[in-house]
Amino acid sequence: MKTAKKALKLAEAFEIKDGASFRLKDFDPADTQGIHSKEKAAELLHESTNMLCDLQEKLYAQDEWAVLLVVQAMDAAGKDSLIKHVMSGINPQGCEVTSFKQPSTEELNHDFLWRAARRLPERGHIGVFNRSYYEEVLVVRVHQELLAKQHLPSKLVTKKIWHERFEDIRNFEKYLSRNGVIILKFFLNVSKEEQKRRFLDRLDEPEKNWKFSEADVRERQCWDDYMHAYEELIQHTATPEAPWYVVPADHKWFTHMAVSAAVIHALKNLDLEYPKVEKDRRKALETARITLGKKPKG
């Protein structure tokens, strides 16, 4: 209970349910909400991992709700390690992670939500999108030549296209939420300075070299365009049914804790229970026990 309350407080600090007045500059990438010790954070993360396991078991057994976690960030903000930490310990059978890369020819031949719709979590499952349909109003907006590859009828490509996509995304998420999909969206808010430090680490430390890509440095040159795109998309797609969490990402330990808190809080709100065993079913279970050689109960 104590953990749930702490989770609620932590999650609320970064939650945006109405983007109208959202400004990125109001969110500090180095914020740790007054928690200064990594050890304290590790303790909290351990507690919340246990809690998440328990909640996921119930989600799976109940088989009604599905949970979709969308993770968006600039390079080196820590998407991969976040997913690894937050999902550690949960049952892999009830969880799928999809990484969205540059779209294939087949994907480009469909509407922009098509490939995401095919990877949505089924009831009882947690789906994690490592990048998502939000790339369609991020990288595609920053590099508009990508839009030309999408085979859209030219009549439909106007100045309004980004706002139309915001609207389509809002409608898609509303539709999902009406079908029992709980949607939580995380923007890992890393600072430009911290990104540089992490890139340099990747260059300096041999075991991190594999993570380095020249393309990441090129994208960094478009930093301001990306920040503008993030700010606008959050303003237009943060809703009560699909909130954004603008999570400080300069300290990875804090990112993990804050995301875990938001997930726990959302699952707690569902009042998940194991399915009730009806009287007839209980009788059948008792018969099975006896068949297995046990004495009748009571």
Can you give the binding site for Mg ion, defined by CB under 5 A? 75
Indicate the residue among 30 and 139 with the shorter CB distance to ligand ATP. 139
Per-residue interface string for the shown chain with ligand ATP, residues 137-166, x marking contact by CB under 6 A: --xx-----x--------------------
Indicate the residue among 31 and 136 with the shorter CB distance to ligand ATP. 136
Beta strands in 108-259 (DSSP E): 126-130, 181-189, 244-248
Q: Does residue 228 interact with ligand ATP by CB under 6 A?
A: no
Least Cα distance to 198 among 291, 76, 88 occurs for 76
Identify what 101 binds: ligand ATP, Mg ion, none; CB under 5 to 8 Å per kind: ligand ATP
Q: Which residue has the tokens 């990306």?
A: 226
- Report in angstroms the alpha-carbon separations of 221 from 129, 131, 188, 255: 25, 20, 18, 24
**Hey, what amino acid is at 215?**
A
Identify what 103 binds: ligand ATP, Mg ion, none; CB under 5 to 8 Å per kind: ligand ATP
Per-residue interface string for the shown chain with ligand ATP, residues 75-114, x marking contact by CB under 6 A: x----x------------------xxxxx-----------
- For the record, the structure tokens of 290 come out as 């006896």
Indicate the residue among 31 and 75 with the shorter CB distance to ligand ATP. 75
Q: Checking DSSP bridges between strand 15-16 and strand 244-248, what pairing results, if any?
A: antiparallel
Binds ligand ATP (CB under 6 A): choice among 71, 94, 95, 136: 136
Footprint on this chain of ligand ATP (rule: CB under 6 A): 75, 80, 99-103, 131, 135-136, 139-140, 146, 213
